[in-house]
Structure formats: C-alpha cells, structure tokens
Structure 1
C-alpha cells in the first residue's frame, strides 16, 4: 500500500535537478548498472560486488517497490551527456534494528562520476520528494563505519548522526569488518527548519 501522497501506482515520477534527471530504470540501464555493481571500488563498503543476475534482480525489485510503495530508487542521468550514472532515492529499511521500520535515502554512483557533488544533489531531491510528496515524517541513512565518503554526503544533505545509534547490520555476517554501521536521520520538521524546501 502506498504512503500518503505517493506517486500513482505503476508510474515512476520523473524529477530533475540542475544537472540530473531522476527517472525510472529502463532495460538500457541494466548493463551499465551491472558494471557499476561489479566494480570493487564502488562496492568497497558492501560485503561483495554483484554479478549480472543479482544486479538485474535488484532492478526488478526497484521497479516493484515503486508499484508497491509509491516511492523507490531512481536511475540517475546526466543532463549534459545523457549518461546513466547510478541511482538515488528512497528505500524501505525493514531488517531488524532499533530504528526500523524506516525509510532510507541512498545513492550509488559509478566511480567516474564521483567527486562532482552528484550524490548530494540527487539525494536532496529525494528528501524533498519524500517529505513533500510522499509525506514521510522522517528519513534515515546508514552505512558501514569505514565509509566516511557516505558520511560526508549524509551531513551535506542535512542528516544528523545519531550519536548512540551505531548498530550491527543483520545483513552483514558476524565478524565481518563492515557489520558495524553508523546511523543518520532527519525529520520533516528539521528539514523544513533548514530552509531546504
């Protein structure tokens, strides 16, 4: 069942920023998305890279989430080149943790598009969509503790670290160096107070 104010069933709303188009995934995105998911640098802070089959299954899940929830992950396209560069958007966090169920803002970009502020730009639009169009009261984000690059994105887009919120992600094997995660969150009220609307 969709959240209040969510996009109509079956439709992935297209949104834009100064440099990016946020749109639904297409079959043409599957190959570059699989290449991104197989890149050890991109997947450094995940337990393992994805093969083609797992990457394609993820695209299928992304498309289903829009139908089920009225929110999800967008494919990111550069306005200047038309290139697919990764994803951003909102994703349900439903694993067992002190803060779940929740809705996460996330991103994953191909390595050649790092360092240009694209993740922050797209994630800000995801927050705006979540708070104003979906009607979410809060959005969270989390990552493995060594992933300071993602911490910085979370902080740039206004999320606040929960000081006592570090947790062991149940989807990461016990003893794995990436099991411990940091937690950031932002309420709609905090977002509005920041003037980000």
Structure 2
C-alpha cells in the first residue's frame, strides 16, 4: 500500500528501514514526550508491531519517504490508541530532526486523513499530545483538527485531544461537488451498472448471497439516507457503515465495492 503526495511517499515499513527509523525514534528531542527511551530492541519492535497492524487492520504507521531521493525521514499513519478511557483512531507522526519545519508532518498527516476517510468507516479522527507539546498541537491544527477535550493522564499531566469529523473534512477538503451535482447523481442512480466480471467481484468482496443482485444491492446502499456520498476527481465515493462503493462519475460504472476494515 502506497500513499503519494506532492513531495512524499508513504509506504509500509520493512526491516530494512531500521537504521533510518532508529535516527528518528532514538532522538531524545523528538521523543521527549514518550515515557521511555528507544533502544535498538524497541525500534525493531516498533517495525514489527506496525507490520502486524497492516495485517490486522489494514493500516498502521507508514514509512515517510522523500520522493526526490527515496530517503526515509520518519513515520506517519493511523493507529488505534487509548485516548482517555476509549480506544480511538489517531493519526501520529515522527519526522527526523533535520527534516522538521519543512511542512512534511502536515503533508503526510493530511494524506493519511484523506486516506482514512476514504478507506475506513470512521466518522472522526483524533490526534492527542501533552499540553506542553506546542509544535504537535500546531501540526494537528494545520491539517484540520481542532481541540475537543483535555484530560489528566497517568502522569497527572494534561493531555490535549484534537479531532476532525468526516463532515468537517468533506466540507473543507474532500467534496468537490455541489449539492446539485449530488442530487443529479442520485437522480440517475438507475444508470449505475457494472460488467459481468465486475458483478462477480462485487458479490465476492461484499460477501453477498448468490441470489442477491450485486448492482441492485449497490444502488440500495447509495440511496440510503445515511450513505455518505462525495466526489473526488472522476469518481463518486459512497460509504455506508463498513461498505464503500466507487462509481465512475461519467460512465456510472461501479469501479469497486468493498468492505472496509474496522479497527478495534
């Protein structure tokens, strides 16, 4: 899995990333808000844990790589974290010291934000940090979050919680369509179709029984009032709970239909 931005590539970590990641995680200045120091064993465990997350959840912290040089400069991604008393989806990031103040954390986090709302059913994404971690709060605000709460952590220190909802993201970053265009798309829902091969893939991906028409099922999902419908580029993305259906905006062909992984 790869996410591409203007200057960065986000990809899955491998054991070969150890040396580059060690430069980041073993830096006491970068990790000053962590309760322990990262030695070689903890860095290797960090890679292993994230590779396990990819398999279980379909996401984790990804390697942040400069497109121009191929150099890994940190990590950024989505993990499930205990924030207060609840497990919540959180975007985290760590950028090597000499590559900070260049906008890479914001660029990577914004890409993960978009990926999360496009590929998971989460209705809200969080970012949390110590109240003394001003740079992290500024970064969270830069990719659209706002403070929603604070609490005393186990060290009796104040932790600030920032968040952005799916609706806020749609309005500010994602949805390039007007309400009239959405209405027109939904009014023409009968045009939605797929190929015979596509129908078989939809049946398999959504785990539908053999007697269920995959196209009719997709139409019913799209027309459900709780379905989130937004357009990005040439496609409409329709998400209801853990189902996401992608429809070409010009041909009305179903491109993909899949079950999203729920992080728990």
TM-score by length of 2: 0.64
Q: What do the CA deviations read for 1:90-113 (whole angstroms, capped 9, x no partner)?
A: 010136x24x22100110011011
Q: Which residue of 2 aligns with 1:25?
A: 13
Give the count of matched residue pairs: 175
Q: Which residue of 2 aligns with 1:134?
A: 120
Q: Offset of 1:35 from its aligned partner?
A: 2.3
1:14 & 1:195 partners in 2: Cα distance?
20
1:130 & 1:64 partners in 2: Cα distance?
18
Structure index of larger Rg: 2
Q: Which residue of 1 aligns with 2:64?
A: 76
Q: Offset of 1:47 from its aligned partner?
A: 2.1
Task: Spell out the pairing of 1:1-197 with structure 2 (5 A cutoff).
Answer: 13-94=1-82, 97-98=84-85, 100-162=86-148, 165-170=149-154, 174=155, 179-196=157-174
Q: Offset of 1:180 from its aligned partner?
A: 2.1
Q: What do the CA deviations read for 1:134-155 (whole angstroms, capped 9, x no partner)?
A: 2221100000111100000000
User: Per residue, is there more strand in 1 or in 2?
Assistant: 2
TM-score by length of 1: 0.84
Question: Which 4+ stretches in 1 moved above 4 angstroms?
Answer: none
Q: Which runs of 5+ in 1 are unaligned?
A: 1-12
- Contact (CA 8 Å) 1:103, 1:140: kept in 2 or not? yes
1:195 & 1:41 partners in 2: Cα distance?
32
Q: Offset of 1:169 from its aligned partner?
A: 2.9
Q: Which runs of 5+ in 2 are unaligned?
A: 176-264
- Contact (CA 8 Å) 1:159, 1:186: kept in 2 or not? yes
- Contact (CA 8 Å) 1:73, 1:87: kept in 2 or not? yes
Q: What do the CA deviations read for 1:127-175 (whole angstroms, capped 9, x no partner)?
A: 001001122211000001111000000000000101xx211234xxx35
Q: Which structure has the higher relative contact order (CA within 8 Å, separation 6+)?
A: 1
Q: What do the CA deviations read for 1:42-85 (whole angstroms, capped 9, x no partner)?
A: 11222232001011111101000111111111101001111110
User: Per residue, is there more helix in 1 or in 2?
Assistant: 2
Instruction: Point out the more displaced range, 143-152 or 131-140.
Output: 131-140
Q: What do the CA deviations read for 1:26-46 (whole angstroms, capped 9, x no partner)?
A: 222112212211111111222
2:173 & 2:125 partners in 1: Cα distance?
17
